[in-house]
Amino acid sequence: MQTLIHHATLVLPDRLIEGGWLLIEDKSILDLGEEATCPGPGSHTIDGEAGFLLPGLIDLHCDAIERLVEPRPKVHFDIHIALQEADYRLAGSGITCEFHAVSLNDDEFGVRTDKLVRDLSQILQEDQEEHLIRHKLHARLELSSERGNAIIEQMIAQRECDLISLMDHSPGQGQYPSEKVFREYMAFTTNRSDAEIDLMLEMKRSQQVYVPARITRITNAAREAGLAIATHDDDTASKVEQWPELGVSISEFPTTMEAAQRAHELGLAVCMGAPNVVRGRSSGGNLSASEGIKAGVVDVLCADYHPSSMLGAVFGLTKQQILPLPEATRLVTLNPACAVHLDQEYGSLEIGKVADMILVQPAKQGFPRVQRLFLAGEEKLKLA
């Protein structure tokens, strides 16, 4: 079966085709071009209504599903219900491939438990045909977690995750420049007592001696399994410089321009949060994503905790004349696809690639609106 989408602005990796058309056959892009070369109506024809036709967005990091499992403290919903809600929310945001970021960190933060990671992993091993989009698992390892270290080794060996990241949320590292900042954050977000935080700090200190060996072992296992490896909250150039020889290819949320620049120079894909772009600042007072983009050191934008910000950031960067639309679109499509080795099939409107795409209508206020979503050529979502 063929589907023809016409009367749309095609957003290609390096240019726009206004009034363009694109032909889908089965699951792939068969052909595309300018209005003058548009073929006659096929078996199924869709009027793009002068909207923008983009590749489906690829999100490497979003932890929003945790809030869907636990929308209020100690109020929990079944993971199946949470994933169903996430599916609709992500599709409506234009995301066709989601890497759910879930943590192995000794239950430091509420729902961030080993059980959630394993339950989500099991669900994602099941048939996904009922979903609107592709769902993958991004396993985040807190390096001080002995239990998490053992679990992620099992998950890598059993091919239960699609991306891993290494985190160290100890005082003096990245997000927490001092013990005082760590204590204040933990007390505010978890309501732990001083005594409970003391025990947590004691555990983290006792585990630091094991961290270097864990990094070596986990990165070796991930490379053997062909998994992309990310690091989290790099704050100095010297910290970044250890990663390439270990096979790390993504630097998530570097907290300083120094770290972002060095990661970019070394060929790591620098990933920042799209909400940082939309809001104009980091929620933690760290590096501004927009400043990083202007400096040419940001390669990827992710949802982080707010899926609709991805599409909002793309059109916002264009509106502010920071990036042309094709380049801004690459931050959420082709570049993340390259970072996780999916670019041969996904991430751009090119002949032969899988037809994951979205038809978007601009809005006078707020974010652009996703009108239609296609997954492997099948229309999964249509909004009036």
Does residue 301 form part of some domain?
yes
CA angle at residue 272 from 245 to 307, to 5 degrees? 130
In this structure, the answer to whether residues 208 and 288 fall within a common structural domain is: yes
Element (H, E) at 196: helix 194-207
Does residue 294 form part of some domain?
yes
Classify strands 16-25 and 228-232 as parallel, antiparallel or unpaired. Answer: unpaired
In this structure, the answer to whether residues 207 and 92 fall within a common structural domain is: yes
In this structure, the answer to whether residues 318 and 357 fall within a common structural domain is: no
Collapsed DSSP state (helix, strand, coil) of residue 302: strand
Total number of domains constituting the chain? 2
In this structure, the answer to whether residues 359 and 242 fall within a common structural domain is: no
Does residue 24 form part of some domain?
yes
- 39-48, 142-151, 171-180, 369-378 — which is least confidently predicted? 171-180
Q: Which residue, among 123, 138, 131, has the nearest Cα to 91 in the 3D structure?
A: 131
In this structure, the answer to whether residues 354 and 332 fall within a common structural domain is: no
Residue 236: both structure tokens together: 């100095």
State the pLDDT confidence band at 351, using cuts at 50, 70 and 90. Answer: very high
- pLDDT tens, 151-184? 999 999 999 999 999 998 766 665 666 767 777 7
How many angstroms separate the CA atoms of 325 and 311, rounded? 11
In this structure, the answer to whether residues 33 and 94 fall within a common structural domain is: no
Does residue 180 form part of some domain?
no
Residue 354: both structure tokens together: 């899988």
How many angstroms separate the CA atoms of 358 and 33, rounded? 17
Share of the chain above pLDDT 70, in %: 94
Domain span at 376: 2-54+349-382
Does residue 36 form part of some domain?
yes
Does residue 164 form part of some domain?
yes
Query: What is the value of pTM for the model shown?
Result: 0.93
How many angstroms separate the CA atoms of 262 and 239, rounded? 10
In this structure, the answer to whether residues 31 and 127 fall within a common structural domain is: no
- pLDDT tens, 100-119? 999 997 766 667 788 899 99
Instruction: Count Cβ atoms within 10 A of the Cβ of residue 239 and give its class: 0-12 exposed, 13-18 middle, 19 or more buried.
Output: buried
How many angstroms separate the CA atoms of 344 and 368, rounded? 28
In this structure, the answer to whether residues 334 and 354 fall within a common structural domain is: no
In whole numbers, what is the pLDDT of the chain averaged over residues?
A: 92
In this structure, the answer to whether residues 106 and 167 fall within a common structural domain is: yes
In this structure, the answer to whether residues 324 and 353 fall within a common structural domain is: no
- In this structure, what CATH number is given to the domain that contains residue 359? 2.30.40.10
